[in-house]
């Protein structure tokens, strides 16, 4: 009892002291100012260039022959978009022999605006490069026969925290005095332990020097040397030096990855519980009868799955029912805004995107798409859409981007896919899919071009409500819809899209087939 009282008293005293210490240091806490411009600076670049090995002079006379076909595969930073000449003009030729067509994107702007656009784009691009390039992108060549030992990758530190740098050392060297110099532009070094016979200079600073007459003692020291970051830049460039040798390596700075886990409900017997795993999302605009057909068809197969509807109609009507969420948006906000709004309301692990004029059938087996995402590392998997004519399409596309100079990069889209997915003979890995897909909710972002890992399966099929209709068979809402949805190529909508590709994504042109 007595000792317990003592402990409590001690704890009380300790916390009062701590509180006073905190209060004392509070107003005087110094905030240092640091330069967070991301470019490592010309000094470092020069240093790196100097470190690139000079070509061996004796190698100059050794003959070699360039293989044109392989050299041609290397990026040359001077892309062009070339279309194919039109072939024979047969009916259905476009469907049977898809031709590659090329489209310049600068035509989205008036000739009088274009120079100004180019200038503004170049300025924004420069800023983007400053922000996005980190020391971890630098070319670093490891010297041969260097006595320096250091970690080449895999060391990570949390922003403003401290970590040990494992694997540091100096090997196979005969010297009177052994030294190791550390420098980092936005970090500091400390020794975590004092080792006998090792002199430390610059402890707690951006440059630290260790020296010793005894190599084993020196090698005992660095493995207990942590580094601390000054800020949350993406990577820290560390320079390690001993007499006559120099090494550079990077340490990643980042917060730990916070997992996003979804409660998938109680363990089912064999089948997936689609209601617990999937939310169906769609965007509607004026087509309430089509939307109702879609909802009715979904309910035949999935009575309790949640349906999220983003609606940007001018005079929205009420859409209600069990497990339906209807969100009304400002008039005519468009497809991307609608999709983003719908996705933001999804709380299940997966989101299925459908157009409002699709119809579920017995072939619309969402379990198959869930199975693919559960068992692979794909982020998104598309299905197939069957037209009223019976024609079924997956609209698989591969996307490649070639680097260009000031004019911008070239975007190439082609029908096709990369390879078949093992264990799923009906599914392939590709880059683009049709407007009917299941995606991991947390991975789904609108600007995910190229960063998503995409699949496509042709055995999960949704029907498309009749699209090809005679003009006199169209309802009033169909006509109004057609005006917004199928703008002519020369219209404002195409111009806006091309303008975005040109300015926002810095493409100069697009080819597709
Ligand atoms: C290490 O740093 C010290 C102090 O900055 C400097 O005098 C010395 O030349 C450096 N040694 C090497 C090998 O770079
Ligand atoms: C499936 O999940 C839903 C929603 O979480 C739940 O209400 C339902 O009871 C589950 N069904 C089964 C068979 O577990």
Annotate 320-383 with DSSP letters as a single string.
Answer: --TTEEEEE-STT--HHHHHHHHHHT--SSEEEE--TTEE--TT--HHHHHHHHHHSS-SEEEE
* CA 406 to ligand 2 centroid distance, Å: 55
Higher-confidence residue: 226 or 425?
A: 425
Phi, psi of 468 (to 5 degrees): -85, 110
Question: Could you tell me the distance, in angstroms and rounded to a whole number, from the CA of residue 205 to the centre of ligand 1?
Answer: 14
Q: Is it the case that residue 425 has pLDDT exceeding 60?
A: yes
Integer CA distances (angstroms), 437 to 177, 333, 374, 471, 485, in order: 66, 22, 14, 30, 20
Look at residues 154, 184, 149, 152 and name the one whose alpha carbon lies nearest to residue 168. Answer: 149
pLDDT > 70? residue 489: no
**Greatest extent of the chain over all pairs of C-alpha atoms, in Å:** 102
CB 275 near ligand 2, within 6 Å: yes
Q: Identify the pLDDT of residue 264.
A: 76
Phi and psi torsions of 247, nearest 5°? -140, 150
Q: Is the pLDDT of residue 291 over 90?
A: yes
- 145, 144, 149, 143: which is closest to 215 by C-alpha? 149
Which among 202, 211, 203 has a CA at the least distance from the CA of 170? 211
Q: What is the DSSP letter of 484?
A: H
Find the mean pLDDT for residues 284-304. 92
Is the distance from CB of 396 to CB of 358 less than 8 angstroms? no
Instruction: Give the span between the Cα atoms of 330 and 323, in whole angstroms.
Output: 23
Kindly report the number of other CB atoms within 10 A of residue 121's CB atom: 16
Q: pLDDT-derived band of residue 492, with 50, 70 and 90 as boundaries?
A: low
Question: What DSSP character marks residue 132?
Answer: H
pLDDT band at 294 (very low <50, low <70, confident <90, very high): very high
CA of 257 to the centre of ligand 2 (A): 30
Residue-wise burial string across 449-478, b where 16 or more C-beta atoms lie within 10 A, e elsewhere = eeebebbbbeebbbbbbeeeeeeeeeeeeb
Rounded to the nearest whole angstrom, what is the distance from the C-alpha of residue 103 to the centroid of ligand 2?
50
Q: Quickly state the pLDDT bin for 223 (edges 50, 70, 90).
A: low
CA distance 405 to 420: 35
What residue owns the CA closest to ligand 2's atom 4? 276
Average pLDDT over residues 302-308: 96
CB-CB contact of 239 with 186 (8 Å): no
Q: Mention every residue, 6+ apart, whose C-beta is less than 8 A from residue 193.
A: 221, 224
pLDDT bin (cut points 50, 70, 90) of residue 95 is: low
Cβ contact 142:162 at 8 Å: no
Check if 209 has its Cβ closer than 6 Å to any atom of ligand 1: yes
Question: Ligand 1 pocket, 181 CB below 6 A?
Answer: yes
241 within ligand 1 shell (Cβ under 6 A) = yes
- For the cut 90, the answer to whether the pLDDT of residue 174 exceeds it is no
The pLDDT confidence band at residue 486, using thresholds 50, 70 and 90, is very low
Give the residue-averaged pLDDT of 215-225. 74
CA of residue 348 to ligand 2 center, whole Å: 12
* Among 402, 380, 359, CA closest to 456: 380
Report the predicted TM-score, pTM, of the whole model to 2 decimal places: 0.75
* pLDDT value of position 471: 47
The pLDDT of residue 186 is 79
pLDDT category at 49 given cuts 50, 70, 90 is low
What pLDDT was estimated at residue 500?
Answer: 86
List b or e across 238-247, with b for residues whose CB sees 16 or more CB atoms inside 10 angstroms: bbbbbeeebb
Segment 107-116 mean pLDDT? 91
- What pLDDT does 143 receive? 85
Pocket test for ligand 1, best of 173, 181, 201 (most atoms within 8 A of CB): 181
**Mind listing the domains of the chain with CATH numbers?**
148-253 (2.60.40), 274-512 (3.90.550.10)
Rounded to 10 degrees, the C-alpha dihedral 434/438/443/446 comes to: 30
275: left (phi over 0), alpha (psi -120 to 50) or beta: alpha
- 3-state class of 187 per DSSP? strand
53-57, 207-211, 234-238: which has the highest mean pLDDT? 207-211
Residue 480 sits at φ, ψ, to 5 deg, of: -60, -40
Stronger pLDDT, 418 or 132, i.e. the higher one:
418
The DSSP 8-state label assigned to residue 232 in this structure reads -
pLDDT of residue 487: 44
For 92, the token pair is: 């259905």
As a whole-number percent, the residues of the chain with pLDDT over 70 amount to: 77
Q: Give how far Cα 62 sits from Cα of 54, 66, 68, 69, 105, Å.
A: 16, 13, 19, 22, 46
Looking only at the bridges linking them, the beta strands covering 306-311 and 278-284 are: parallel
Which among 256, 238, 226 is positioned nearest to 138, based on CA atoms? 238
Using the mean position of ligand 1's atoms as its centre, give its distance from the Cα of residue 243 in Å: 8
Which atom of ligand 1 is nearest to 242's Cα? 13
Closest atom of ligand 2 relative to the 265 alpha carbon: 5
Q: Which of 264, 266, 350, 367 to mutate to test the pocket of ligand 2 (most atoms within 8 A of CB)?
A: 266
HSE, CB side, 13 Å, CA atoms: give it for residue 194.
4
Q: Is the minimum distance from the CB of 207 to ligand 1 under 6 angstroms? A: yes
The verdict on the CB of residue 205 being under 6 Å from ligand 1 is no
347 backbone φψ class: left, alpha, beta (φ>0; ψ -120 to 50): alpha
pLDDT digits (tens, 9 = 90+) for 349-393: 999 999 999 999 999 999 999 999 999 999 999 999 998 888 888
Helix 492-503 crosses helix 111-132 at what angle (to 10 degrees)?
40
- Pairwise CA distance, residues 95 & 299, whole Å: 35
Whether residue 458 has pLDDT greater than 90: yes
Lowest mean pLDDT across 215-219, 227-231, 496-500: 227-231
Q: Is 179 in the pocket of ligand 1 (CB under 6 A)?
A: yes
202 and 189 Cβ atoms separated by less than 8 Å: yes
Q: Indicate which atom in ligand 1 lies nearest the CA of residue 179.
A: 13
> How does pLDDT run across 192-201, given as a tens digit for each residue?
888 888 898 9
Mean pLDDT of the chain, nearest integer: 81
| pLDDT band (50, 70, 90) for residue 258 | confident
Q: Compute the distance between CA of residue 234 and CA of residue 154 in angstroms, rounded to an integer.
A: 14
Atom 9 (ligand 1): residue with closest C-alpha?
Answer: 243
Which ligand sits nearest to residue 173's alpha carbon?
1
- CB-based burial of residue 38 (10 Å sphere; 0-12 exposed, 13-18 middle, 19+ buried)? middle
What confidence score (pLDDT) does residue 190 get? 84
Structural tokens at position 130: 């400053």
């Amino acid at each position: 009892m007595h000792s317990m009282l003592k402990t409590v008293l001690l704890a009380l005293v300790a916390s009062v002291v701590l509180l006073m210490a905190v209060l004392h240091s509070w107003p005087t806490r110094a905030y240092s100012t640091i330069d967070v411009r991301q470019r490592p600076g010309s000094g470092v670049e020069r240093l790196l260039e100097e470190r690139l090995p000079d070509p061996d002079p004796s190698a100059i006379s050794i003959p070699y022959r360039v293989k044109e076909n392989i050299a041609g595969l290397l990026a040359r930073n001077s892309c062009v978009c070339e279309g194919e000449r039109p072939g024979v003009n047969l009916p259905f030729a476009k469907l049977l022999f898809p031709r590659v067509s090329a489209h310049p994107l600068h035509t989205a702007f008036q000739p009088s605006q274009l120079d100004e656009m180019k200038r503004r784009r170049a300025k924004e691009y420069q800023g983007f490069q400053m922000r996005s390039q980190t020391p971890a992108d630098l070319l670093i060549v490891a010297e041969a026969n260097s006595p320096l030992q250091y970690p080449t990758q895999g060391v990570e530190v949390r922003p403003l925290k401290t970590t040990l740098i494992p694997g540091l050392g100096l090997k196979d060297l005969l010297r009177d005095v052994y030294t190791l110099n550390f420098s980092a532009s936005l970090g500091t070094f400390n020794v975590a332990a004092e080792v006998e016979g090792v002199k430390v200079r610059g402890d707690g600073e951006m440059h630290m020097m260790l020296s010793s007459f005894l190599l084993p003692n020196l090698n005992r020291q660095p493995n207990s040397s942590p580094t601390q970051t000054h800020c949350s830049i993406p990577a820290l460039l560390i320079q390690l030096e001993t007499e006559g040798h120099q090494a550079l390596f990077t340490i990643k700075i980042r917060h730990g990855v916070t997992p996003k886990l979804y409660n998938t409900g109680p363990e089912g017997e064999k089948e997936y519980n689609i209601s617990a795993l999937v939310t169906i999302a769609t965007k509607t605009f004026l087509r309430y009868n089509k939307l109702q057909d879609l909802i009715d068809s979904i309910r035949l197969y999935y009575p309790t799955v949640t349906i999220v509807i983003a609606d940007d109609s001018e005079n929205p009507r009420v859409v209600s029912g069990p497990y339906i969420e209807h969100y009304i948006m400002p008039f005519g906000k468009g497809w991307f805004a609608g999709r983003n709004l719908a996705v933001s309301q999804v709380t299940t692990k997966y989101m299925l995107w459908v157009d409002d004029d699709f119809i579920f059938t017995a072939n619309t087996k969402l379990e198959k798409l869930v199975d693919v995402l559960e068992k692979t590392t794909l982020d998104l998997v598309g299905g197939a859409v069957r037209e009223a004519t019976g024609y079924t399409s997956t609209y698989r596309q591969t996307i490649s981007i070639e680097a260009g100079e000031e004019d911008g990069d070239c975007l190439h889209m082609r029908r096709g896919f990369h390879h078949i997915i093992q264990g799923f003979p009906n599914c392939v890995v590709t880059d683009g899919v049709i407007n009917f897909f299941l995606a991991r909710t947390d991975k789904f972002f609108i600007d995910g071009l190229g960063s998503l890992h995409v699949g496509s399966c042709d055995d999960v099929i949704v029907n498309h409500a009749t699209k090809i209709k005679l003009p006199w068979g169209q309802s009033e809402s169909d006509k109004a819809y057609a005006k917004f949805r199928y703008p002519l190529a020369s219209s404002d909508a195409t111009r806006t899209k091309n303008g975005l590709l040109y300015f926002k994504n810095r493409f100069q042109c697009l080819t597709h087939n």
